[in-house]
Structure formats: C-alpha cells, structure tokens
Amino acid sequence: MAARGPGDLSQDGDLAGFAARFRDWLTEESAVVAPLLAEHSDYDLRVDNARALRRLLCEHGWGLAGWPEEAGGLGGSILHRSVVTEELFRAGWSGPTVFEHLEIIAPTLVRFAETEFVRSVVPSFLDGSRSWSQGFSEPEAGSDLASLRTRAVRDGDDFVVNGGKIWTTWSKWAHWCLALVRTGTAEERHRGLTMIAIDLSSPGVEVHPIRQANGTDELAQVHFTDVRVPAAQLVGEVGGGWNVALYLLARERGTLSWLRHCAFRHWLTAGTEVMAEDSDRQLGAVVLQLAGVRAAAARLLSRAADGAELGPEAAFNKLLMTRTEQSLFDLLREVDGVRVALPADSPAEVLQQQEYLFSRIVTIYGGSQQMQLTTVARHVLGLRDG
C-alpha cells in the first residue's frame, strides 16, 4: 500500500486522524525513517540526519503541514506541526538539533518579513537545505538587549553591518542569522533597534564556534565587518526590531515548550529502565512537572493556532520548562550517575551526558530566570515594585 500524505489540513479538529495517518506513514517508511531517528554522539552526523529527515518529511508533505502557502507550506496550523513533533519523539527521535529554531524563527519571518523574502528563504528552512541562527546577545549585552551595539547603517539599497554577536546557537551550521541590530542612537535603547536577516556567506562575516562543557560546538561568536545586507532582508520596520524580538522570544519561551516537553519524556522513558523502586517519589514529582509543562504548552499552542498573541504568559512557560528540565536530569543523575558523570561509549549515554550538562544553563538562555519571574510578577500577577 502506498504511503499516505497529510490529507485535508483545513480543520484542526481532525488532529487525531492526522496523527494516525502520520503514524501509519512512519510505519510504512520505517526502513528509511528509522536510521534518521537513530541516536548519534557525533553532532555533525546528527545535524546531517536532521537535514535528511526534514527533506524526507517535506517530500511526503508532513514537513509542510501547518505552514502557510506563502512559506511553501500546505496550510493548517501549529497544531499540525506539534502532532508531527510528538509522533517523531514517540518513534524514538531525540530531537531536531539545528531545526529547533524552526518554530522560533520561521513564524517570525512569516509574520514580519516581506512576502517575497519569505517565499525565497522559508521553504529551504522547512526542507532542511538551509538553517538559521539567532543573533541577539553580545559580549556586553546579554539579557539587557536594549544596550546592544552591533550597528547597521543605511547605504543606498543596503545596510552595512558592523559588530558582533555571541552565544549564537547553531551558527556553525547555519546559513542565515536573524540579527537584532542598532539603527538608532544608544540613548534610544529598544526604540533604536531593527531586525535584519544576514546571509552568513556574505563577505565580512566570521563565525567562530565555541566549545561547550558538554563537548559540542552548539554556540558560536559571529563577527560582522562592513557586511552589506539588502534592505529587502529587513524583518519588520526600521526601528521596530524590539516588537519583532518580543514576538520571537514569546515563541522561544512559549510554544517551544511543547517540543522540549516531548524531549523530556524521551529522556525520562529511557531513564526509567534503570530506576530502582525507591525512586518512585522523585519520579512522581518529575512526572507531575512534565504534566504541567504539557498542559501549559498546549494552552499556548491553541492560542497561537487562533492567531492570538502569546504575551507575558510565555515567561511562565519558560519557568515551568526550565524547572522541569533541571528536575528531570537531577533525577537521572541520582538514579544512574555513571551516565552523566563518566566518559561513555554508547551514543545514548553520551547524549544523556550532553543533555545533563546543558540543563545546568537553561535558566539563562532566552532571558534569565530572574527576568522571567519579573515578567510574570508584573504582567501576569499585576504586582508592582514597592
């Protein structure tokens, strides 16, 4: 029997049928899919597999489900994309590597970039042939993005960019960087910022990978020296970069939590194979936290599918997500410390070590935990200083 495609995506109400069709397809194509879901300790190989998986999913329509037609998609909503994510994890996937940014950057491009630019770059993001990094933090502007110094100056039909970004995730493998730059004065703070898409193959761009404690080159420092960027690659308006950044960060803190909670379930399932009976209380606490993340993520997904703004509640999701991630890997360390503490040979053990070490810093990326707490206090709970 020929493998079935996504079918009618015009209504979100048939998500169960959509999920069933995708599971059938995974089974029918298991000989091709299974090697792409396999765990590998070599990050370059994992990136290659992620690209190949994106290509395969798009060839059969599944990777295009939930994306608008102007972006090269088949229609539907983020709910269809979330079903694909969950079913892949259920099939043994350990995650999208460089394409974790797909749910953060691609929606931002669709929302704010010129339609012609969206049509020229988003399809290659969906099919895995091109990937993106996110250029926000700088050596002297981390959580305080309004103080960033990378500058873009208009010169005819181009902007000329000078400066640098740091902690730009996956820039080693990226083809594009969505960068927040200063087009106004330093005194204007966030009002003088603009979002722009930079081709990392442009003259004047240097990418220097940063080796992390977990042994991967996931982060990088990127330098821009007289880099010419066509004005058509603006994402939003000149001086409107802060609003674009807030939209993007709401997805990094909010809807991304669905993908992350699927990954947490993957690691928890693997960890239960070696848990002793006296781990029940710790395990129960983590399961409850996972349920909380799932419920909160599902709520934001529904809002996003309805076209609503995610707002400050995304900060609450980020707090739940990071607490759960650290609780999970603390549990795995307690029940089988060898897997997270000592050199390992098997890909599964190496990956768990990498994930454990990464979990130590999750309260920093996407805005520090203190910033998220302040956002929730002021904008969700309505509390004020004093």
Q: Which two tokens stand for residue 370?
A: 């203190």
Single-letter code of the amino acid located at 156? G
Determine how β-strand 219-230 pairs with β-strand 205-210: antiparallel
> Which of 39, 218, 252, 355 is the catalytic position?
252
Q: Indicate the helix (H) or strand (E) that contains 165.
A: strand 158-165
Residue pair 272/283 in contact (Cβ under 8 Å)? The answer is yes
What are the Cα distances from residue 211, in Å, to 39, 208, 218?
21, 10, 7
Residue pair 18/5 in contact (Cβ under 8 Å)? The answer is no
8-state DSSP, 2: P
- Cα–Cα distance for residue pair 44/52, rounded to 1 Å: 12
CA torsion through residues 95, 99, 101, 106, sign: negative
Other beta carbons less than 10 A from residue 316's beta carbon: 21
Look up 140 and say whether it is catalytic: no
Nearest to 110 by CA among 224, 222, 251: 251
User: Active-site residue numbers?
Assistant: 252
